[in-house]
Structure 1
Amino acid sequence: MIESLLIANRGEIARRVIRTAKRLGIRSIAVHSEADAGMPFVVEADQAVCVGPANPAQSYRNAEAIIAAAKSTGAQAIHPGYGFLSENADFARTVEDNGLVWVGPGADAIRAMGDKINARNLMAAAGVPVAPGTQDPAASVAAALEAAEAIGYPVMVKAAAGGGGMGMAVAGDEAVLRTEYDKVRAFAERMFGDGSVLIERYFPRVRHVEVQILGLADGRVVALSERECSVQRRNQKLVEEAPSPAVGPELRARLLAAAVKAGEAVGYRNAGTVECLLDPATGEFFFLEMNTRLQVEHPITELIHGTDLVEQQLRIASGLAPSFAADRPTSGHAIELRINAEDPKRFLPGPGKVATWVEPTGAGVRVDSGYGPGTTVTPFYDSLMAKLIVYGTDRADAIAKARAAVAGFEIAGPKNNLPFFAELLDNPEFVSGDYDTGIVARMR
């Protein structure tokens, strides 16, 4: 097993990885920006190194500074968490070129899945269902219009190099497509350095379902189970649950088999997620993208499987077999709520100093947090403050526990979206389990 681990991230995911490292007797090393010097993850690590100022480009995305920190502290391995450099193929290669262990998939797999068009084509060749769309970038408005005519309106206009719900727009007709194509292309060039645009069929009523996979050290790819991620604002997830209330045994078998094919097609190693769109009317699903890292929502899979996915990541990176049987049946139901520093109506960021922070407790309640009393949510980073995760014997039990936990979570200082979750957990559509990605818009 790896003996020392540098976590190239911050906040709740850094604390999450440190917790498992401590349990396994692995020395943990945190890197942090000047703005994060007093944060809980820095205090809890066995060692900490400042890698630059608040600006992520000069700290958490500063590959040279992070490699230097790993070498100066004697770290054996680097865990990237999610976001920042976690899906940067060049960084993964650099880590390994410097004789360090990369806790994630190989650079080739990251690169193959990082471009949405290339990923679609690879998946189609592997027999994984993909939605109707372009096989090559739409290089001009005229090409986009031609593709949309063949696919049929409405269409989704996507940045091929995008991720995290960014660089996407819906076009219901030619006039809107002309406008949105230019917007998405410009945004993609600015944010990702790649203006390639994909045109794909848009499904007005669709569910977002994903499958957790593990590429094992022996070369096998296993699929654990699915997660439902349809509660979203601006194409970004707010709530996840496992298992999905929309997926029965037959559909689950098809989803998991497709996810294994996806991993095998790129020789996948370590933890990853195959994201799909599910048409609830027909039971058809289509490959959306593959996240070549640990997901924010991994705790709900951990709870229904009774395992620690960060431990499995570290075991795989160390060349060891998993410490649990991947094919054992799941048990119970888990829900995760992303507690963000944002107002609960318009979901606009609301950073500030935390005056009160009281986490709920009780059977089946877990909080993975990055903040606490006296800490400050700054505008430099993602608004995620904590993940409130509940586990119940069934979905109704999990919802009841989530209601109580939301009521018991006290935050003062930054704005927060706890009131939204209280509303959602009483929403008849959500409670029924028969909802889709439009549920938040209908609530607003």
Structure 2
Amino acid sequence: MSLDLLPDYIDKINQRLEREKPVNGLISEIESVLNVDQLAILLESFPIKLRTDLWEILSDETQQNVFIVMKNESRQLLLDVLDDAQCFPLLTKLDAFNLLELSESLNDRFIDYAVSNMTAKQRSLYKKSCDYDLSEVGHWQNFTELQIPQRLKLSAVKKVCAKSLPAFTDVAYIVDDNALLVGEIAINGIFNATDQQQYLTAINQHVEFIDSNNNISEAAEKLINSGKSALPVVDDNGCLTGRLDLPTAYRYKEQIIETQLIQSAGLVEEEDLFSSVWLSSKNRAVWLGINLVTAFLASWFIGLFEATIQQVVALAVLMPVVASMGGISGSQTITLIIRGLALGQITEANKRDIIVKELKVGAINGLLWAIVIGVITYLWFDTFLLSLTIFIAILGNIVIASLSGVWVPWVLSRFKIDPALSGSVVLTTVTDIFGFIVFLGLGSLLLL
């Protein structure tokens, strides 16, 4: 329910800032209402300068917790603007599991500092997990499992379980003196047992486990389908090393799904909504280049039928290039915007900043690829006016596509139409019509 409050809080913050009113009290209220995941989303809804100002208002504990759950690029943007005195406190309370998740977005200096502040046990666990590949379960396991020595008496076992249990703990794992996994017992089975024999009888010796070298994708599916909240992880010798729990399994699956969605539009995984214009342009330029290759391939096939085209052959051959470049540029923007709408990050208050950013991104990529395509066209057809025509059409279509990528999902969502289902269709129509009108219109004026 608190996620529904995100747009309201984003608007309230912007309204107070526009009136030059302090937001400290509002931030304190937000801290008490939203959890750390939602606070991370809220911060990522603002440009980096404003985001940094809001960050400094948060309490030290909230900063440490939000820092852990932020997207990699958002975390890196924050580290880039904070000095070392502000960064190091964020790393003092990381355990092995948290540091493993953050290591991709931290430089060696920060990682070394975080490791130096760990306990000896956590330091050992971190180094052990680093021995595993990112695709292996051992890299993803956590170390919050409840281990019960096999020789422990029932009274001692009950004392151990009477303490605060880790989240998603419904069983305790029984291990021998060498940490070999020998069984498991339900927590309620421990407290229901009245004597040692009843306790031993309740132990399940046929434990479903995951090998630490197993593929994480297959292991996550196994856990989700098992009906359990966690499964123990063992090494090659059968010794208990940790566990894989449901939050980790689902987080991995969601990460894979989001990665596929983002990459299908040619974006870089976890691109921040307000990442720098240059970084966003660079991230998307590669896929625009790949799309250019396929577009020219389609044009070459059309050129095979040149003899059948009776009017301005070159225009007909190059039409797919104009349409395709506008389409891919728009789809990159619309994917990012749809995700922002789904998370409640985009409101009337910050829409203008997003439009300005996307306009700059479209202008940079439009100019870059308009020059490339113009040069290729000149080398292909040896006609300057044709090159100028397609230069203007490509530049205009990519800029319009970037703006449409913001406006189309926004308008559709206002009319209660799912932009994820219909946004691409509308966007393609807009870019095609605009591209063809500009390209063919200029062609008629300059070439006929």
Task: Confirm or deny a common fold (TM above 0.5).
Answer: no
TM-score (norm: length of structure 1): 0.24
- Greater helix fraction, Structure 1 or Structure 2: 2
- Give the structure with the larger strand fraction: 1
**Could you state the TM-score of these two structures normalised by the residue count of structure 2?**
0.23
Q: Say which one has the larger Rg.
A: 2
